[in-house]
Structure 1
Amino acid sequence: MTKPQQSSSAPSVGPSFPRLHARTQRFGLGAPRGFSISPDGERIVFVRSGSGTDRTHALWVLDLPADGGTPVERRVAEPSALLSGAEEELSAEERARRERSREGSAGIVGYAVDAAVELAAFALSGRLFTAGLRTGTARELPVPGPVIDPRPSPDGRWVAYGSGGALRVVGTDGSGDTELAVPEDAHLTYGLAEFIASEEMGRDRGFWWSPASDRLLVARVDDRAVRRWYIADPAHPDREPQRVGYPAAGTPDAEVRLFLYGLDGARTEVVWDRERFPYLARVHWSAAGAPLLLVQARDQRSGRVLAVDEASGTTATVREEADPAWLELLPGVPCWSPDGRLVRIGDESGARALSVDGEPLTDASLHVRAVLDAGGDDVLVSASAGEAAADPETGETHVYRVSARGAERVSRGPGWHGAVRSGAVTVLVSAVPDAPGAVARVLRDGEQVAVVGSHAAEPPLRARPVFTEAGGRRIPCAVLLPSWYEEGRGPLPVLMDPYGGPHGPRVVAAHNAHLTSQWFAEQGFAVVVADGRGTPWRSPAWEKAVLRDFSVTLEDQVTAVRALAERFPLDLGRVAIRGWSFGGYLAGLAALRRPDVFHAAVVGAPVTDWRLYDTHYTERYLGTPQADPEVYAAQSLLTDDGLSGAAERVRPVMIVHGLADDNVVVAHALRLSSALLAAGRPHEVLPLSGVTHMTPQEQVAENLLLLQVDFLKRSLGGFPDHQPGGRGEGGGGTVAGA
């Protein structure tokens, strides 16, 4: 496709919005993240890159003088200096780890600290480094590599790390490096999270230090039963395919066991009913009590919170959990409060509630998302308005202090707020709808004492989402119109831009979250983002409405666009939909099942046959292919009646997929294309060579957006003439002043 050319008389030329969006990683580069706060409240540690286009993150400290003096930022570890200017090289294990966490940047993207937050450990190019956070001195420890996930002991004397499938321990002075847990064969690893733990459970760790720094809990993963798949690179036929273990629905998972290791090599297995509860979902170990485990049955309808006896490895049940649909895994729980009470979040009485020792502390007016910190007097949580709230607060999430006295909101104003807390100091990170980026404010005893600096780039356009609700179910929505649109110009072609499924909210009260949708709007669309049933953070019933039936997600997209057409200039005769991952599945579902509503679809990295997706995610919603074959058939895009529809039901479809994707493998797209071809359904396929489930490459990300616009305009036709503004609000060409 030929791009519009900038006039030679233009005073300055910058990259297009799509290119800049990719180059800045959605305008997130340069923003501080990954905060840790010292218990004495004197240091805040974080990572940040040098500018809005710099991918390489360094380790920083913000000093907060106890006497109330001026806070000072200082850099304590710079990757280019530590690597003597050499390019960073990632091991296969580190690349996989970053893919699971959707981490596309470079440098120090993660670190761990000791209990006093005086020492940090991190890996660069598979090498182990530590940094003194008081002194600002960084050094390399000479150990075998490639190193993955190094973590200091709480007392700061040791660093445990993974290397070659083994878990090793070294003194922070570089002495005494020891192989603590050694794999007996090539199918075993110690101290690493298995695929489904890091991809689906939100557990990216495989070992945990004791509070006394004298032993560790270590996960042992045996993947010999996991089916092997092969990820080929067709652009390089001379290269062997990558062989990966992938636990597809209905097939064996990796076997996970847990061991207590002393620093002297003593080993004790932690024992629980692994046959009934094979999933190790959470591990918590603090000075407030015995190690806590959360284990789940494979169908995720039952689980147990277990306390581990450190001497014998036996476990005692602290709490039994059950749910007829599934038990949701949430960040920060279960854990002990400082006085030894069990803190958990559960779905009870129609609400997602926080409880301490079985006593509910919140009601249906709050939908609790995560525990951020369990303090002596209160629990800091992230929560959104529940269905019983007086104000729906569409797209907002806030930080609350919860105690027996009730819930007190810490964050202020509409937005998307999160926090990290230690003692009297809190870092409150807030993104709001009407300003780009996010602000990290440092509070001491509730009063602001500093703002952590951000180098994030300024977006060349402004998102203008209108937050509302649609239909009788009050579906949360955001509507974005072109900045140049004037009332009376008539209805606009519609682009539905959802994710629309579990764990993927898109209607969020934050500016940058809607930049791509706004860019599509500037091309002449009215863009609608709708979070229907199955999306998180409204109520348990809302999330669990997709049990055994993903089609309700499509019903809510139809309901939303029809209801919004009564209030916004939406042309229901020209409605397209685009999506990625579950959103790609939803877009394919829309084109095949509701061609009466949707007239074109961009189907990105879709799951087309749920038998090819992983166990923990898929079986939670659909059961197993063996026990529920009719459920799988009903959700599949490959067996849909729409494939053999009449000619008038044919709708243009563009299928996009990364050939290197090891999460949603390209077989999904190829099988859909084959089925469409066999049914005589015209469609386009855009294979992305070397691209995984992420699309971080600048040229790929830029042209992917431009090609989507071209496809959608060709498919829908009749776009209005307009003269976009000069700050990058128009087409896919260059923007001035970027």
Structure 2
Amino acid sequence: MTSRQQQPLPASAPLSFPRQYARTQRFMLGAPRAFTVSPDGSRVVFLRSPSGTERAHRLWVLDLDGEVRERVAADPDALLGGAEEELPAEERARRERSREGSGGIVGYAVDSEAELAAFALSGRLFTAELRAGTARELPAAGPVIDPRPSPDGRFVAYAAKGALRVIGAEGDGDRALAEPENARTTYAVAEFLAAEEMGRTRGFWWGPGSDRLLVARVDEAPVQRWWMADPAHPDREPTPVAYPAAGTANAEVRLYLVGLDGARTEVVWDRERYPYLARVHWSPSGAPLLLVQTRDQRTALHLSADEETGATRTVHVDEDPVWVEPAAGTPAWAPDGRLVRVADEGGARVLSVGDRPLTGAQLHVRAVLDIGDSDVLISASAGEEAELPETGEIHVYRVNELGVERVSEGAGVHSAVRSGAVTVLASARPEVGRTTVQVLREGKQVAVIASYAEQAVLSARVTFTEGGARRIPCAVLLPTGYTESDGALPVLLDPYGGPHGQRVVAAHNPHLTSQWFADQGFAVVVADGRGTPGRSPAWEKAVKDDFTLTLDDQIEALRDLAGRYPLDLGRVAIRGWSYGGYLAALAVLRRPDVFHAGVAGAPVTDWRLYDTHYTERYLGLPGEQPEVYAANSLVTDDGLSGAAEPARPLMIIHGLADDNVVMAHSLRLSSALLAAGRPHELLPLSGVTHMTPQEQVAENLLLLQVDFLKRALGTA
């Protein structure tokens, strides 16, 4: 992938929403992100691109002592001498897993005092002295992946060609600490499942003493090989991809304590029973802490590792008859040595410190943001027993033994980063396009970090409500300027609708595309039914063994909302991507009595082709529950599964370079539809992965979809 400067439109050309949406990367370019607060509270470090259309992010520092001011700590254009950024294959894969489509400095790490930052550009290693504001390249053996300074700032560790390497912060002594034994083994990089499904993007962690590291070793030898080919370039050899599909072998993951002197000690646990290394935490507050899971994810162990011998002891056990849900920021040690964890207990997702739960059914804890001496900072949404509904809202709270205090104010989606007395609070609101970033000291605003993100050429007019007896969270969008005299409108359901994807959020920009579709003449409905996050453990886990419940909830919400909004139930379409693509195809095939057209983007059509950690959590092992896989898949060995008449128009869109939901899903669905005599359109996207970062592709996909939907519903 190459970072390119976007070509300006001619001055006379009108700026359409699809073009603006694509070139601003969903209006994320120019917005500040990835905040770090120095422990002394003197500065905030963050990333931001220079404008709402420039992809190359710079590293910035906001000084808080004396005159409050922003300054650039590292500029990728200057560091690369104006050359285009060239990404090594390992970095492209890492960005694909994190859905990172921008360029420049897209990630960085700092030492314990936030004085030295390390980052990679074009596979090369750079550091920045954050107080002085100077940046330079270190002579590392590349291509460099995920560089991280030691806590004392004397060294930088990084991954390169499957090895863990370390170099002095002055550029001296570059050497390998752990090297791969063969072509299928790597050190210091998160394996596919960890990065794609577990929320663990790292493969190594510095110890607080800066003299050793915890390093993951991944052996992909047991994993089956698939072949990714580019039909648009038949002269190129297919690329082998280690893909652990449901029911097949996973990579073997081990963990080692590695000293700067090269000494190596394995961290030992029952890897046969607990093969998934979900979390690693190492801080001055305690020994290395691991969270490991059984393959069925119904049991998770919190393990403390001895720094000298590598032996582990069980600190806590979480068990759940459905699955254990790890939370971001946990497990961790509090400064007093107590275990901080989030678990599903008593019908709620609660925060506990030591043996004491600090939250209850009023809150649904989403993540632990910071652990202080006297409190824990968390993000949470309203729980099942909350006094007032807060559809789509996520707030920041301070929690301790004395109670719970909300830090964020007003409807919105709020997040925070904190160190000591300084908190960076980011707030996205339903009525405002740009996210507001406040810097607070002891709760008082001392600065605002500016956003250079563009304002959209349209405004999302969202009504948040609930639908059906289950009180399904919904967002409804009507055409700009709609009046009752305009009558009932064709309906477009625009969900994700499945695990890990909340679409009904109390923020403006996530609904811009839905508003654009509404402005093309649709009433757009977004519904978060069972299986989606943010409401309660029971809500998320209701889909165990049965993804078709997510379709039932879309229908329930649709029918209830039709009594309150101008929805023409005789003209109903649905669109979605990834799980939403599966849901769209499922809707058209299983319920043509309700849905009259669908657009399925990158759909999972046969769950036997999707990865182990995700699929087995919900559907079990295909060898043990083949009937569950058949009931939930869109295709089987015998053709279409559960399809009903009449046949409805379906557009299938898929990137040929997608290594997450591989193209085989759509090809198998298309073949089954063809064999059954069902008309459909298949749009293969050459060179496109599970993301669609290319400006022209992203823009034209919107235009093609609305054209198809109008033709299919007879509204063109």
Q: TM-score of the superposition, structure 2-length normalised?
A: 0.98
Mapped partners of 1:644, 1:184: distance in 2: 45
The aligned residue for residue 444 of structure 1 is 441
Q: Residue 43 of structure 1 aligns to which amino acid in structure 2?
A: R
8 Å Cα contact 1:592-1:640 kept in structure 2: no
Give me the whole-angstrom Cα distance separating, in 2, the residues matched to 1:80 and 1:13: 29
- Bigger relative CO (Cα 8 Å, ≥ 6 apart): 1
> Does structure 1 retain, via aligned residues, the 8 Å contact 2:217–2:255?
yes
The residue that corresponds to 2:130 in the other structure is: 133
> How far, CA to CA, are the matches of 1:217 and 1:78 in structure 2?
31
Secondary structure of residue in 2 paired with 1:22: helix
Following superposition, the deviation at residue 330 of structure 1 comes to 1.3
For the pair 1:572 / 2:574, whether they are aligned, the reply is: no
Distance 1:644 1:571 in 2: 29
- What is the Cα deviation at residue 405 of structure 1? 1.1
1:430 to 427, 431, 436: 427
Query: Unaligned stretches of 5+ in structure 2?
Result: 1-9
- The alpha carbon displacement at 1:484 in A equals 2.2
Q: What percentage of residue pairs aligned between the two structures are identical?
A: 73
Match of residue 74 from structure 1: 71
Q: CA RMSD in A?
A: 1.3
Offset at residue 295 of structure 1 (A): 0.2
Aligned pair partner of 2:151 in 140, 149, 154: 154
Match of 1:309 in 2: 306
Please tell me whether the aligned partners of residues 633 and 641 of structure 2 are also in contact (alpha carbons under 8 angstroms). Answer: no
In structure 2, distance between residues paired with 1:399 and 1:418: 6
Describe how 1:344-355 pairs up with structure 2 within 5 A.
344-355=341-352
Query: Deviation string for 1:46-83 (max 9, x for gaps)?
Result: 01000000000010000001xxx431000010001101
Amino acid corresponding to residue 673 of structure 2 in structure 1: L
Q: Give distance in 2, aligned partners of 1:473 and 1:642.
A: 34
Aligned-partner Cα distance in 2 for 1:253–1:642? 29
Counterpart in 1 of 2:85? 88
Give the 5 Å matches for 1:234-273.
234-273=231-270
Deviation readout 1:676-716 (Å, 9 max, x if unpaired): 00011000001111100000111111111111001000011
Decide whether aligned partners of structure 1 residues 642 and 272 sit closer, same or farther in structure 2, where only a CA change above 3 A counts: closer
Secondary structure (helix, strand or coil) at the match of 1:546 reads: coil
Task: Specify the alignment match of 1:54 in structure 2.
Answer: 54
Does 2:328 match 1:331? yes
Hey, what's the Cα distance between the residues in 2 that align with 1:641 and 1:243? 28
CA shift in 2, pair 1:494/1:309, >3 Å:
same
Larger displacement relative to structure 2 (181-190 or 112-121): 181-190
Q: 2:629 aligns with which of 629, 632, 638?
A: 632
Q: Which residue of 2 aligns with 1:731?
A: none
Asked if 1:616 corresponds to 2:610, the answer is no
Q: Which residue of 1 aligns with 2:517?
A: 520
SS in 1 for 2:202: coil
| Alpha-carbon distance between aligned partners in 1 of 2:227 and 2:372, rounded to the nearest angstrom | 47
Aligned residue number for residue 657 of structure 1 = 654
* Aligned-residue offset at 1:517: 0.1
| Partner of residue 35, structure 1 | 35
Q: How far apart, CA to CA, are the structure 2 residues paired with 1:140 and 1:322?
A: 48
Contiguous gaps of at least 5 residues in structure 1: 1-9, 720-738
**Which of 361, 376, 381 is residue 379 of structure 1 equivalent to?**
376
C-alpha distance in structure 1 between counterparts of 2:644 and 2:528, whole Å: 31
Measured at CA, do residues 112 and 644 of structure 1 come closer, stay the same or move farther in structure 2, by a change above 3 Å? closer
Counterparts of 1:645 and 1:221, CA distance in 2: 40
Paired position in structure 1 for 2:6: none
Letter aligned with residue 232 of structure 1: A
Q: Distance in 2 between matches of 1:710 and 1:184?
A: 53
Q: Which amino acid aligns with 1:144?
A: A
AA at the equivalent of 1:32 = P
Contact 2:589 2:644 in 1 (8 A): no
The question of whether the paired residues in 2 share the 8 Å contact of 1:585 and 1:606 is answered with yes
- What code does the residue aligned with 2:347 have? G
The amino acid of 2:98's aligned partner reads S
**2-structure distance, mates of 1:702, 1:159:** 41
2:681 is matched with 684
Q: Choose the corresponding residue for 2:696, options 695, 699, 708.
A: 699
Report deviation, 1:644. 8.3
Q: Deviations over 1:129-178 (max 9, x none)?
A: 00000000101000111000000000000000001100001000011111
Give 1:718 shift.
Answer: 3.6
Confirm whether residue 539 of structure 1 aligns to residue 536 of structure 2: yes
- Give the TM-score taking structure 1 as reference length: 0.95
**CA offsets, 1:83-120, max 9 Å, x none?**
11111010110000000000000000000000000000
User: Are positions 1:208 and 2:228 aligned together?
Assistant: no
Aligned match of 1:5:
none
Contact preservation (8 Å) 2:87, 2:123? yes
Would you say 1:482 and 2:461 are equivalent positions? no
1:114 corresponds to: 111
Question: 1:320 Cα shift?
Answer: 1.0
- The CA deviation at 1:603 is 0.7
- What secondary structure, in the 3-state scheme, does the structure 2 residue paired with 1:554 have? helix
What CA distance in whole angstroms lies between the structure 2 residues aligned with 1:171 and 1:37?
A: 24
Following superposition, the deviation at residue 303 of structure 1 comes to 1.3
The structural deviation recorded for 1:325 is 0.4
Query: Equivalents in 2 of 1:581, 1:447: separation in Å?
Result: 42
Q: CA 1:391/1:640 → structure 2, altered by over 3 Å: closer, same or farther?
A: farther
| Aligned twin of 1:586 | 583
Letter in 2 for 1:162: A
Which residue matches 2:3?
A: none
Give the drift of 1:646: 9.3
Q: Tell me the distance in 1 between the aligned counterparts of 2:302 and 2:606.
A: 34
Aligned position for 1:391: 388
Distance in 2 separating the partners of 1:113 and 1:143 = 18
Measured after TM superposition, the shift of residue 488 of structure 1 is: 2.3
Pick closer, same or farther for the CA change 1:463–1:312 going to 2, 3 Å. same
Secondary structure in structure 2 of the residue aligned to 1:579: strand
Paired amino acid for 1:117: A
Determine whether 1:497 maps to 2:470.
Answer: no
